[in-house]
Structure 1
Amino acid sequence: MNGDVWVRESLVRIEADPASIRRLFPMVTRKVGAGHEQVRARLLRALPDRSELPGLYRYGDVHERRAVIASAAVLGVDDTLLELARDAFRSNDPRLVTASAAAAVVERLSDDEVDQVLMKCVFMGIDLSEVPALTARATARTSKMVAGFALERIVAGRDVAPQLWGVIDRYPPDVEIAQIERQLTADDPERRRAAAQALAGRG
């Protein structure tokens, strides 16, 4: 059976018996290959309600979990999906963390939660261009937190990703930026190098 036929038959089965998605959802990658995320989204849209989502997320692999969270873009975010997204952003898998930063989810998060997820992305080295909904919610406190992280790296003689300045310079924190600039004249040559690299990346 080719993939298209399998998808059509699966949609019919789910509409007739929503619980059948428990068996079909894990089969998607094997049946359709590279288009698995889009197909999982179609299967989720066929569900009459959200009652199956927690189980699909809890027992799924990373691809299945990501598909459940990503479905927020088309299904909308209710309390069920919001709690699953919160679980995803506590994970250590960047695929789940970025999925939890979808615009439909982020608009339901508090400022504290936005900062938590954004800082997690920073610590994990996730490209912030992948999480624009988070950076769009950055506040003065967010900028100060990211600048503090950059300063810690510089003091440790480590490089700073240029992308961090996009958040820092939303609300430039004078104290932290001055401390970064002072590292240009530090006794430690690695601090001087790291500060010069970071400030050059500021553009």
Structure 2
Amino acid sequence: MTQPSFRTRDDVSAALPDDTARAWFDEALADAAAAAQAPPQAPSPYLAHPWELRFAAAGRHCGHDNADAVRALLLVEARAGLETLTRLYRHGSAAERRAVLRALPALVEGPHAVHLVEDALRSNDTRLISAAVGPYAAAHLEPHAWRHAVLKCLFTGVPLDAVAGLAQRAAGDGELARMLTDYAAERTAAGRDVPDDLGRVLNLTGEEPKEL
């Protein structure tokens, strides 16, 4: 599996505001580890494992700046499977969905969770889009969907530095170059600025950029 791109346990613990938050974080990870060792149970719409309750409460106890990383680490510690990841994504807040997306490379082999990435890319939440175009998308999105993800970033103002594997996937992609050129022409015709990132990714395709 791809190495996770989020912060390590020690980094997160050091960033927490006080000992109370660190104690809560340690207990949450212990709950998640216990769940990973427990025999599998049929999911219930009425009962949630303690680590899942902590997953939802991470922002309140650890601070909103740390919540994404805390949640992603909980998912990994619990060894959350695709069914759990999908359920937490479907029923979660935008912040909880971001954590699921960031944890995918560490938890899901193959393209089985692409539907979650595609769902996030249909949103206009820039932080969700930024999480969606991470290493899992780089490894598993089909070319057509990946090209549209790049355009979605340009359209919504998400910096292309967020797109994992951009240089590798854009290299020699003539179709991506065509789409970028068409998008630039549409914006120019409408009297709108062309995003600076567009020229950079067009260069990565190997195409000679025209005057944008």
Residue 8 of structure 1: aligned partner: 26
Structure 1 segment 1-203 matched on structure 2, within 5 A:
2-17=20-35, 19-33=49-63, 34-50=65-81, 51-138=83-170, 139-169=173-203, 170-172=205-207, 177=210, 198=212
1:128–1:135 Cα contact (<8 Å) kept:
no
1:13–1:20 Cα contact (<8 Å) kept:
yes
Q: Which has the higher contact order (CA 8 A, sep 6+)?
A: 2
Q: Distance in 2 between matches of 1:159 and 1:118?
A: 17
1:6-43 CA deviation, whole Å, 9 max, x = no partner? 11112222333463233111100000112212211221
Cα displacement (A) at 1:104: 2.8
Q: Distance in 1 between matches of 2:27 and 2:150?
A: 40
Structure 1, unpaired ranges of 5+: 182-197, 199-203
Cα displacement (A) at 1:77: 4.3
2:58–2:71 Cα contact (<8 Å) kept:
yes
1:118–1:135 Cα contact (<8 Å) kept:
no
SS in 2 for 1:165: helix
Q: Distance in 2 between matches of 1:48 and 1:168?
A: 39
Q: Distance in 2 between matches of 1:38 and 1:13?
A: 16
Structure 2, unpaired ranges of 5+: 1-18, 37-48
SS in 1 for 2:140: coil
Aligned residues: 177
1:46-80 CA deviation, whole Å, 9 max, x = no partner? 21441321121111111110011001243344444
| Shift in CA distance, 135/97, structure 1 to aligned 2, threshold 3 Å | farther
Over the aligned positions, Cα root-mean-square deviation in angstroms equals: 2.2
Structure number with greater Rg is 1
Indicate the structure with greater helix content.
1
What's the TM-score, normalizing by structure 1? 0.77
Q: Distance in 1 between matches of 2:106 and 2:191?
A: 44
1:11–1:46 Cα contact (<8 Å) kept:
yes
Q: Which amino acid aligns with 2:26?
A: R
Residue 15 of structure 2: aligned partner: none
